[in-house]
Amino acid sequence: MKQSEFLNIVMPFKDKLFRLAKRLLVSTEEAEDATQEILMKLWSKNTNLKECKSVEAFAMTMTKNYCLDRLKSKQANNLKLVHSNYTDENVSLHKKIEVADSLQWMTRIMNTLPEQQRMVLQLRDVEQYDYNEIAEMLEMNQTAVRVTLSRARKAVREQLIKKHNYGVS
């Protein structure tokens, strides 16, 4: 595979790889390093990439495994799950504080979820993958993905209801 072919295949989902790595690792720098490492590994396997049913799913699985390995390594004592959102310069200070607070709460809530629920929620609701892609990436069946997602959403909903006390006395 030529470099131009590789770039045409891989570059459209490079940002998804970064977002997944960012979700799993503590810092932007760690996520950038992980993304670069995965891209290098993909390039080293470029002759075999055409045999893959979905290069994107393969790359996402590689990213997930690489990040989880980093989290388990001794070097990663300071790593933790974190989520950040984009910044919009045209938003009022009040709105920025509200968004930051909401993101902080969502991060706390997601950190209380089991790892598998966090991953499924991230891939489905943030990255917008469909169920069969998630099942392939996480080596689960589609029914298990749906059940895990349902449980994760229910846990998040219950925590948000507790936080905001929406109509609950």
Per-residue pLDDT tens over the stretch 73-129: 745 455 444 434 444 455 577 777 877 887 788 888 888 999 899 989 888 888 888
pLDDT tens digits, residue range 12-41? 899 999 988 888 886 788 889 999 999 999
1-82 fold? Rna Polymerase Sigma Factor; Chain: A (1.10.1740)
Positive or negative, the CA dihedral 115, 120, 121, 126 is positive
Instruction: Give the residue carrying structure tokens 């699985």.
Output: 61
Q: What angle do CA 106, 91, 158 make, to 5 degrees?
A: 20
What confidence score (pLDDT) does residue 22 get? Answer: 86
Rounded distance, CA 67 to CA 1, Å? 27
Domain ranges of the chain: 1-82, 87-169
87-169 fold? Arc Repressor Mutant, subunit A (1.10.10)
Most confident of 9-18, 91-100, 140-149, 155-164: 140-149
What confidence score (pLDDT) does residue 151 get? Answer: 94
Rounded distance, CA 132 to CA 58, Å? 13
